[in-house]
Chain A
Amino acid sequence: MTTAAIDCDLHPGVPGVAALLPYMDEHWRHSLVERGIEVLESASYPPNAPSTVRRDWRGAKGGAPSTVAEVQSQALDRWGAAAGILNPLFPVQLPFSRDMSAAMARAVNDWVRAEWLDRDARLRASILLPNGVEEAVAEIERLAPDTRFVQGMVLCMAEIPLGRREWWPVHAALERHGLPLGIHAGSAWRHPPTSVGWPSWHVEEYASNSFGFQASLASLVTEGVFQKYPGLKVVLIESGVSWLPAFLWRLTKSWKGVRFEIPWIDRAPAEIVRDHVRMTIRPFDAPEDADTVRRLLDHLRSDEMLLWATDWPHAHFEGDATVPPGFPEGLLPKIMVDNPRATYARLREGGSA
């Protein structure tokens, strides 16, 4: 692995609400304790599911790694990456109160800054965005001066589709500050994760994330977000990769017949996506033989879309097999170095507090 590699998806585990209290104002610090809100867990990542944390990365009590020492020994030092982007998954999207969502997002972001970014110069982070649009914009404005924050992050199944005009102030703020919009797998649980109703099983919900990504992508493209904000990049994180070509085929083919409905889309949606959208490679969702992987990459029609990521500490591979099996060696410098640097303006510029 090259020492210039950039790991585009690492998850710092918040050990519990208590860890966030020092980063909250007096009201929330007292109120959360009074209410007995000690943990907040999303059904997207059941703590004991084998996929949630790789077995050899679990702590003494089986919990997710939650310290910078762990990301160093388990990922950064072990694989020798030059930089890693932290995407906190503490579910600030769950509270129905916009104020609580915002208070928790602020606390998580400040916790990441103080306990991770300040302790390892290789680390960068996403700004975890709360549910409310005004609060999300405020959080971007509050943290953008610290250039170690390299993108804003939301979930693929939120309250409303991400392309809708209600969200445009967020897209405008992100574009203004050179921050991509990161869309991570997961749900705010406002809607069933499938469009036909509630699934019964974890495996259904896990697989249904690709529908959430497809809907988010279709919304961003058709609403004209990339026409309105041509500088905006979108990164699909933990999205899987192999569903994209077939989805783009259908979106583009249908557009040819009904393009008058969205006349601001003046070129094929697949081309717009290739210009603006990037994806992390874990999970990859493809068979392991090199021929199939090569054909899949051909279907993407671009070698600039994929970003290397280990998705630490989620369990996608054993040992040090950080690259999906069958992935062409020749593409590694692109996905490990060139593509992340092209995607994240702030990585090129070198981040500072």
Chain B
Amino acid sequence: MAKHVVAPVAEIPPGGRKVVEAAGKRIVVFNLEGEFFALLDRCPHQGGPLSGGILCGLTQSEEPGSYRFSRAGEFIRCPWHQWEFDIRTGKSWFDPRRTKVRPFPAGVEEGATLVEGPYQAETVSVRVEEAYVVVEA
């Protein structure tokens, strides 16, 4: 897998998302309070674009009538059938073992490092004074 520079950090603010192309794949990159995560932008169910879905949190329960809400904004729901996927892992909530969307490692690199390193920046021009989101795909 190669590392791809996909966007300046400032372009994907916390809670934001961006669809990018890397290694010929459509990938959606999320910013969860400064941490970046990347998923294939294709629902494993019928191929819906996850990037078009709404963000939600995790609702769990101890027993009927109790609601425990956590991890606001850390799940993406496919816009076609509303299946929930954990942005951190790509796993669906209802069947995490068998139904999951492919995750890609994502991180932040400084422009100064990138101009020297073995990175592919097909569409993003890199400036030394900026930081960039890098996806391995």
Contact = CB atoms under 8 A, between A and B. Distances in A.
Main secondary structure of the interface of A (DSSP, over half): helix
Contacts of A263: 59-61, 67-68
Given A255-B94, A268-B94, A260 B64 contact: no
A260 B67 CA distance: 9
Contacts of A176: none
Interface in A149-178: 165
A264 interface: yes
Interface residues of B, number: 20
B81 interface: yes
Interface string B76-117: 010001111000000011110000000000000000000000
B93 A259 contact: yes
B65 interface: yes
Given A256-B81, A256-B83, A257-B82, A264 B66 contact: yes
A293 B93 CA distance: 35
Interface string A266-292: 101000000000000000000000000
A305 to B, nearest CB: 22
Contacts of B82: 256-258
Interface in A167-191: none
Given A224-B64, A264-B61, 13 more contacts: A227-B63, A227-B64, A255-B94, A256-B95, A257-B81, A257-B83, A259-B84, A259-B94, A260-B56, A260-B84, A264-B62, A264-B63, A264-B65
Interface of A: 165, 223-225, 227-228, 255-260, 263-264, 266, 268
6 contacts: A165-B65, A224-B63, A256-B81, A256-B94, A264-B64, A268-B95
